[in-house]
Amino acid sequence: MESKLLFGDAVAFATPTLAVFAGDTQTEKSADPKPALLAAAPEIAAAAQNLLVSGEFKAAAGEVAVLHAPAGLKAERLLVVGLGKAKDLSAEALRKAAGTAVRAAKARNIRSLAIGFPDTTTLPTVANLNASLAARAIIEGAEIAEPDWNTYRSDRKDLAVELMLIADQKQQAEIQRGFDEGRIVAAAQNFARSLVNEPGNVLTPTVLGARAKAMCNEAGLKCEVYSSDKIQELKMGAFWAVAKGSAEPPALIVMTYEPPTTPADDAPVLGLVGKGITFDTGGISIKPADGMEKMKYDMAGAAAMIGAMHAIARLKPAVKVIAVICSAENMPDGRAYKPGDVVTAMSGKTIEVVNTDAEGRLVLSDGLHYAKTLGCTHLINAATLTGAISIALGSLNFGVFSNDDATCERFMDALAISGEKAWRMPCTDDYRDYIKSEIADIMNTGKNRYGGAISGAMFLKEFAGDTPWVHLDIANMAWNETPKPWLPYGPSGVAVRSIIEWVRSFAA
């Protein structure tokens, strides 16, 4: 998407469509909505006046109304976009509304859209939003809404939209900064989504490695891509157990970001570890055929980390970051690992394999341990780890688990900036019994299916050890099944924005 920021008068701007935001200022519970514009220009207020008093437009999130040939404006159309309740107005509401504007434009075959930067002073109920965060949210929402994941449809049409954000001269520097950051963050999220969108026959571990390497070369990051030999040489017995059942070689991808000024010896080094199963059949514990095609997105955790590294390279926070991606296919085969096998992880812990479909925790166990040997002082991993996280949380919050309150708090604080929703789940030592094995140090499933997402987290916690660590189980949100007014069907790029903010919090 081509996005530009212009400082000037939206009223005098010639565009096929000018979008402005409106919030519902009604505070009484069951009373009719009272929509009000977040635009100060009297010409815009006059053009929207009849619509706003008609009762037809409620200013709900995801709602739009189109007014043609608005008098007094240079724009051919005025697109009024709902924000929801004005008293709850947040950067996230702007993110969704900007996305709604872009998707509404696409649906109407409008190829060029201008968004008027919201003027919150028109709404006395709204505390002034931080201009930088508002600009950032708008640009992120718009850029994330734009792609349709129809790459493989031969009848697809190029409906790309170009966007102009039009702000007046007030707070120019803040708006510019938010706009620039938003473009970087949205590009990272869209890059992650483009990887998740690829089918398993295209995006093998080797190809994932090549795409990560190409990104790193372009962004100026160091990147090494290893395969079977290195994995065995490092004694990554858990990772190798999963990988050896596929004809496709695995990939161990290590990306390093060095900050512009050399940090102090005791400065934190952040480790970003991603589950990169490019297809998960379940292995010998094979999955049912119904829905198995979705398991191409079992590399969404890896994609989130690769995407985050793209943004980190461009935002240049003052903290060293190392990303470790463990990528393999989980296949049934004559050489595949089997239930009952005992494998030794790189850390030396022995693992009884009870179910070969719990492969994500195996590859990550070696990834987490390896990141520690590379000097990481704080770890975060992202993984489509368990179906059980959907049972626990539905698809509105992804799961957060941690062994350290302070490091977890940083992540929860990052959500306030990213606008993403996540819920902290228990990961306390009293759950350790769930993964106790009679045969080996631990087993790779829980004793039963209850608390399945917690069993997965407890397994990973063994390998984080004393290192502060956060685990994101994104299996419930990595793929958007139901299109929303601001987000199309397909890969969501969930967690990318929050991981970037978590990293930046260490540089502050």
At 180, is the secondary structure helix, strand, or coil? helix
Q: Does residue 280 interact with ligand BES by CB under 6 A?
A: yes
Q: Which residues pair with 2 in a beta bridge?
A: 162
DSSP 79-108: EEEEEEEGGG--HHHHHHHHHHHHHHHHHT
- 365 contacts which partner out of ligand BES, Zn ion, none, CB within 5 to 8 A by kind? none
Residue 361 annotated to the active site: yes
CA 386 to chain centre: 17
Q: Does residue 446 interact with Zn ion by CB under 5 A?
A: no
Give the whole-angstrom CA distance, residue 345 versus residue 343: 6
Q: Does residue 384 interact with ligand BES by CB under 6 A?
A: yes
Which one, 17 or 365, has the nearer CB to ligand BES? 365
Structure tokens of 161?
Answer: 């939209």
Q: How many C-beta neighbours within 10 Å does residue 124 have? A: 10
The residue from 168, 332, 387, 505 that contacts ligand BES (CB under 6 A) is 387
Q: Does residue 380 interact with ligand BES by CB under 6 A?
A: no
Catalytic residue among 95, 361, 410, 504: 361
Which one, 15 or 445, has the nearer CB to ligand BES? 445
Residue 387: CB minimum distance to Zn ion, A: 9
Whole-angstrom CA distances from 130 to 9, 134, 390 are 21, 6, 34
Angle at 463 between CA 458 and CA 468, to 5 degrees: 85
Residue with tokens 């514009």: 37
Which one, 18 or 300, has the nearer CB to ligand BES? 300
Which one, 70 or 283, has the nearer CB to Zn ion? 283
Residue 287 annotated to the active site: yes
Residue with tokens 């957060």: 400
Instruction: Map residues 264-283 to x or -, x wherever contact with Zn ion holds by CB under 5 A.
Output: -------------x--x---
Helix (H) or strand (E) holding 391: helix 388-393
The residue from 24, 248, 357, 462 that contacts ligand BES (CB under 6 A) is 357
Structure tokens of 200?
Answer: 């398993």
Residue 427: CB minimum distance to ligand BES, A: 16
Residues 480-499 that bind ligand BES (CB under 6 A): none
The residue from 116, 249, 268, 360 that contacts Zn ion (CB under 5 A) is 360
Q: Does residue 501 interact with ligand BES by CB under 6 A?
A: no
The residue from 24, 43, 357, 462 that contacts Zn ion (CB under 5 A) is 357
The answer to whether residues 327 and 208 touch, using CB atoms and an 8 Å cutoff, is: yes
Listing from the earlier edge strand, what are the strands of the sheet with 350-352? 342-344, 350-352, 442-443
Which one, 120 or 384, has the nearer CB to ligand BES? 384
The catalytic residue positions are: 287, 361
Which residues form the interface with ligand BES (CB under 6 A)?
A: 280, 298, 355, 357-360, 384, 386-388, 445, 452, 475
